Amino acid sequence: MYYFLSNLSFIEILMTSSLVPKMLANFLSEKKAISFTGCFSQLFFYFFMGTTEFILFAIMSYDRYVAICNPLRYSTIMTGKICIQLVIGSWAGGLFMILSSLILKAQLPYCGPNVINHYFCDSAPLLHLACADVQLIEFIDFIVSLVLLLGSLSLTVVSYAYIISTILKIPSAQGRQKAFATCASHFTVVSLGFGITMFVYVRPSQSDSMKFNKILSVLSSIVTPLLNPFIFSLRNEQMKEALKDAVKKYLLITQWAGMS
């Protein structure tokens, strides 16, 4: 589980690093410009990391299924070699799924005013600047998003159906609570990711409701990665104890400073 979480953290660091620095620079600058190469770099890293993340969500669902439904066989099924292969497969799958659409977008002719109606180079506002028919590219994006999200969602739903069925058969309430706690963080993160992304990208045409899409994109690309470490770590008892100790030390220091 921690191996997959470390890869998820790395993916989200790369995703936010490709967007946030330029966004903050634009806040502080009167000239808000980005080069063609920089724009496509943002587009590539955002969708590559996002696609890889959803494949990894499905892998993590399967990992939780094996851990809860087959705990005695977990170490023999989820070996170190298998985990490495699954992660490599998620990265390779993410690259393969976005490559054709990205190449077609790079070959499009773009005309003025070259103003992107977004805080980064997202697919829909970029296609809005193209001086050519983009229906084929929009259709490819729609099919790729549909296959990716529904495929990942289906595996996640099936895994959690088996997980819930197994948990409900546990006789003790403490055992059921512990099993639910193991999956709660992953389920919360997956629900946020699927809910926002399916609403924004799984549509035949992405040119409508662009203002609302910008708000949702902020949630998926900035707010969710910010919340994920807290969602996962606060389920960990050691992290809870460390946080309590830090709060106690802070309160003692502030009391001591007030008395002096």
Would you state the pLDDT for residue 87? 94
Would you state the pLDDT for residue 130? 87
Q: What is the pLDDT of residues 10-64, one digit of tens each?
A: 998 898 888 888 888 888 888 888 888 888 999 999 899 989 988 998 998 899 8
Integer CA distances (angstroms), 164 to 68, 83, 135, 152, 159, in order? 9, 24, 42, 18, 9
* DSSP result, 14-74: HHHHHHHHHHHHHHH-S-----HHHHHHHHHHHHHHHHHHHHHHHHHHHHHHHHHHSGGGH
Would you state the pLDDT for residue 236? 62
Please report where in the chains the tokens 């292969």 appear, as a residue. Answer: 85
Would you state the pLDDT for residue 89? 94
Would you state the pLDDT for residue 250? 78
Q: Which domain holds residue 14?
A: 1-258
pTM over 0.85: no
Domains in the chain: how many in total?
1
Average confidence (pLDDT) per 10 residues, the chain, 260 residues: 85 88 84 86 90 90 88 89 93 93 90 80 85 88 87 88 85 76 74 70 56 72 77 67 79 72
Burial environment of residue 76 by CB neighbours within 10 A (0 to 12, 13 to 18, 19 or more): exposed
Would you state the pLDDT for residue 92? 95
Torsion sign over Cα 87, 200, 121, 138: positive
Q: Which residues contact 145 (CB under 8 A, 6 or more apart)?
A: 197, 198, 201, 202
CATH number at residue 35: 1.20.1070.10
Rounded Cα–Cα distance for residues 83 and 253 (Å): 44
Would you state the pLDDT for residue 8? 86
Rounded Cα–Cα distance for residues 196 and 52 (Å): 16
